[in-house]
Amino acid sequence: MPRALTRLLLPVALTALLAAPALACTNLIVSPGASADGSVYVTYTCDGEFHPTLQRIPAGDHEPGEMQEIKHWNDKVLGEIPYPPHTFGVVNLMNDHQVSIAETTTVGRPELVNPDGMLHYWHLMRLSLQRASTARECVEVMGRLVDEFGYRSSGESYCIADPHETWIMEMVGPGEGGHGAYWVALRIPDGYISAFANGGRIGTFPLQNSDKCLYTKDMIDFATEKGWYDPASGPFNWREAFHPQTPQQLRYTATRVWSIFRRAAPSLELSPDYHRGGGGAEPYPLWIKPDHKLTTADVFALMRDHYEGTAYDMTQGVDAGPGSDPRHLRPMGFEVEGVKYTWERPISTQQTGFSMVCQMRSWLPDMVGGVSWYGLDDTDFTCYTPLYCDIDALPGSFTTGSLGQFSWDSAWWVFNFVSNFSGLRYDKMIGDVRTVRNEIENHYLDLQPAVEKAAAELLKTDPELACSYLTDYSVMHAEDMVVKWRKLGEYLLTKYNDGYIKDEKGSPHEVGYPEAWLKKVLEQRPDQFRLPQDEGELAKPTEY
C-alpha cells in the first residue's frame, strides 16, 4: 500500500493548527550560511493565554472536487476551499519537505482588517504547508489563497524557510469590503539572520527583482490613495505606510529585535535609541551577519533572553522582587499619578504557550533533515525535544489537556508547574532548572548525528521502517523528558519548601533575602523594621 494512502487511514484529530490567537510572538530566522553546519533555522514563541495541543496532519491524496473546510476558533464554519490532488504531511509547523513557517502579529493599521475575508493567518500557515514544497512556493501559495478567498486577520509577519532559502513575508488586509490582501516578501541573503517581534520590519525593497522580492503590484497605489505614502517623498517604505508605531509599541517590539541582534553580533554596537522611541533614530537592519556562525544550542539560547547584562536587565531592580524574577504581570502598560509607564517585554515570557526551533538541512533526506525542536511554556523554563518532520505519531502528553483543568498527564501543565513554582525564588531555582534542561538538551544534541545516520541508512532500503524508527525516537524521548520534568517539579517543591532551602543532606536552611533588595525595602520603610538602637528608644513605623 502506498505510504501516502497508509497515512490517510491513520486516526488523527484535526482542528485548527494553533489553539488560540497568538498576538505577541517572537521569531528568528537563520540562513544556511549563518549557521555552523549549514542548517537553516526558524524559531517561534507562540505567546498567549492558551493551552497548545500539538498537531499532526497526515499527507493525503484527494479526488477532484474534494473540499477543505475552514473554521474559526469557535468552530464556526467560514467556508471551504478545494484540495489539491496531493497535500503534504505536517508536524507542528514543518511539512514533510522541510518547509517551515512561523508568524508574529504586527497589527498594522486596524482599519485594514476585513471581517468578510475567509482566511486568518493560522489558516494560511496550515494550508500553505500542505501545498508548498519550497519556501518560495509557500509565499506564492499564500498570495494566491488570499487573492482568491480573502484575508481576515490584521497585520502579520511570516518567517518561511526550506533547507536552501529563507524568506520574510509581511501582510495586511484590504479593509472592510476590500479584496485579497497586500503583502511583500523578501529573500534573506545567505549568511544573514533576521528577527521579528510584533512590529513591521520591511522598509524599502527592490521593485524590479523577482528573484529576491515578491509583492502585490497595486499596494503602492492603494497606500497613495489612503494618504499613507507620497511618491514625492522618495522610495516606497512598507513599514512606514502600513505599520506606523508609537514609542510604547517600539518599546514592546523593537527591543526584542535589538537584543537578538546585539547578542548575535556585538560588534555592530547597535544603539538602543530606536527601541526606546528616540525621535529620528534609525530602525534596526532587516537582517545582519552574526559575528560567529550559530549552532543549534546558540539558537536555543537566543530565545531565552531577558536583556541580561544590559541597562534593561529584567533580573535587576526592585521590580524583580527579592528573587530577581524577570517576569512581570500583565498588563504591560500602567499609569501612576497621571504618568504612563510600561514594563519591558522580553523574548522569554511566562505567557508563551509553545515555542519551536525548526532545523532544516539540505544534505539529508527530508525525513531525516527536518526536525522541530519543540518546547512548552516559558522558553527560559522549557526543554526542547526533537520531533522529526515525517513522524507518524505524536507524544500523547503533548496532545491532551485544557486551560481550565490541571493535569499531570498534560506536558504543558507539567512545564507550567515548574515555571510557576519557580517564581517564588527564581534566583535560586533557575539554576536547578538549567542543570536538568542542559543535561537533557545536550544529550539530544549528542545523539543527533548517530540517530540520523541510522535513519538515513534505513531510508535507503525501507522508508516505512525509517519512519517508525524516527517516530519511536521522537515520541519516546519527548515522553521521557516530561517524566524528568515532573520529577524536577517534585524536587523543587521539596527543596524549596516554606521559604527554606534544603542542602544535599536534606537539612533545611534559612536563606533570607538579598542585601540589595533589603536596602530597597528600608529606603521605603526606614523605621518599620528597625530595632531600638539605644535603651528606651521606640522605633516608629513608616506611615503611608
Instruction: Mention every residue, 6+ apart, whose C-beta is less than 8 A from residue 444.
Output: 384, 385, 386, 477
Percentage of the residues of the chain whose pLDDT score is greater than 70: 94
Q: What does the pLDDT read at residue 399? A: 98
Confidence tier at 16 by pLDDT (50, 70, 90):
very low
Condensed to tens digits (0 to 9), the pLDDT of residues 207-262 reads 999 999 999 999 999 999 999 999 999 999 999 999 999 998 999 999 999 999 99
Q: Is the pLDDT of residue 307 over 70?
A: yes
Three-state DSSP state, 288:
strand
Query: What is the pLDDT at residue 23?
Result: 63
Which of helix, strand or coil describes residue 386?
A: strand
Helix (H, G, I), strand (E, B) or coil at 152: coil
**What pLDDT is stored for residue 434 in this prediction?**
98
Listing from the earlier edge strand, what are the strands of the sheet with 155-161?
56-57, 90-91, 94-95, 100-107, 155-161, 166-172, 182-187, 213-215
Q: What is the mean pLDDT of the chain?
A: 93
Q: Are 193 and 32 in contact (CB under 8 A)?
A: no
What letter does residue 332 receive in the DSSP assignment?
A: S
Q: pLDDT tens-digit profile of 31-78? A: 999 999 999 999 999 999 999 999 999 999 999 999 999 999 889 999
pLDDT band at 279 (very low <50, low <70, confident <90, very high): confident
* Band of pLDDT at residue 1, cut at 50, 70 and 90: very low
- The end-to-end CA distance of the chain, in Å, is 78
Sequence spans of domains, the chain: 3-305+346-363
Q: Residue 297 has which C-alpha cell? A: 544550542
Averaged pLDDT for residues 89-109: 97
Q: Are 527 and 541 in contact (CB under 8 A)?
A: yes
Note the pLDDT of residue 7.
34
Mean pLDDT of all residues in 281-285: 96
CB contact set of 110 (below 8 Å; sequence gap of 6+): 154
Q: Reply yes or no on whether the pLDDT at 20 is more than 90.
A: no
The H or E element containing residue 359 is strand 352-360
Place 309 in a pLDDT band, splitting at 50, 70 and 90: very high
Residues 1-21 have a mean pLDDT of 36
- Say if residue 117's pLDDT is above 80: yes
pLDDT per position as a tens digit, 385-401: 999 999 999 999 999 99
Q: Which three cell numbers stand for residue 401?
A: 489537556
**Residue carrying C-alpha cell 532587516:** 286
Question: Parallel, antiparallel, or unpaired for β 182-187 and 155-161?
Answer: unpaired
For 34-43, write each residue's pLDDT tens digit: 999 999 999 9
Q: What is the pLDDT of residue 542?
A: 64
Q: Give me the half-sphere count of Cα atoms (radius 13 Å) on the Cβ side of residue 49.
A: 4
For residue 183, the number of C-alpha atoms closer than 13 Å in the C-beta half-sphere is 30
The residues, ordered by sequence, that sit 6+ positions from 479 with a Cβ below 8 Å of its Cβ are: 395, 396, 397
Using pLDDT thresholds of 50, 70 and 90, give the confidence band for residue 14. Answer: very low
pTM score, two decimals? 0.93
Judge contact between 61 and 220, C-beta under 8 A.
no
pLDDT tens-place string over residues 488-539: 999 999 999 999 999 999 999 999 999 999 999 999 888 889 888 877 666 6
The C-alpha atoms of residue 394 and residue 53 are separated, in whole angstroms, by 11
DSSP for 213-281?
Answer: EEE-TTHHHHHHHHTS--GGGSS--HHHHH----HHHHHHHHHHHHHHHHHH-GGG---STTTTT-TTP
Widest pairwise Cα distance in the chain: 95
Partners of residue 377 on adjacent β-strands: none
